[in-house]
Amino acid sequence: MDKRLLDILRCPVCKGILYYDKPAAELICRGDRLAYPIRDDIPVMLEEEARALGPEEEVPAT
């Protein structure tokens, strides 16, 4: 994931910062506890495509 792209992408729900979880190929919003998938190197920034993080899941550090 391009660092410059990460710098401008924001959560479409709360406009918060997204964190890249490389092993899971997801962009994580800590505030909303949503994980947006990355498919074919393209972030899918649709709320209905996001996965809700379970209470037992840790939010990755930056």
**Cα-flanking dihedrals φ and ψ of residue 16, to 5°?**
-80, 170
Condensed to tens digits (0 to 9), the pLDDT of residues 17-49 reads: 999 999 999 999 999 999 999 999 899 999 999
Q: Specify the residue for token string 């709360």.
A: 14
Residue 13 lies in a domain: yes
Residue 61 lies in a domain: no
Number of domains observed in the structure of the chain:
1
Residue 60 lies in a domain: no
Looking at residue 36, what is its pLDDT?
97
Buried b (16+ CB within 10 A) or exposed e, 26-52: bbbbbebebbbbbeeeebebeeeebee
Residue 32 lies in a domain: yes
Residue 7 lies in a domain: yes
Looking at residue 2, what is its pLDDT?
81
Looking at residue 10, what is its pLDDT?
96
Residue 42 lies in a domain: yes
**Looking at residue 47, which CATH number applies to its domain?**
2.20.25.10
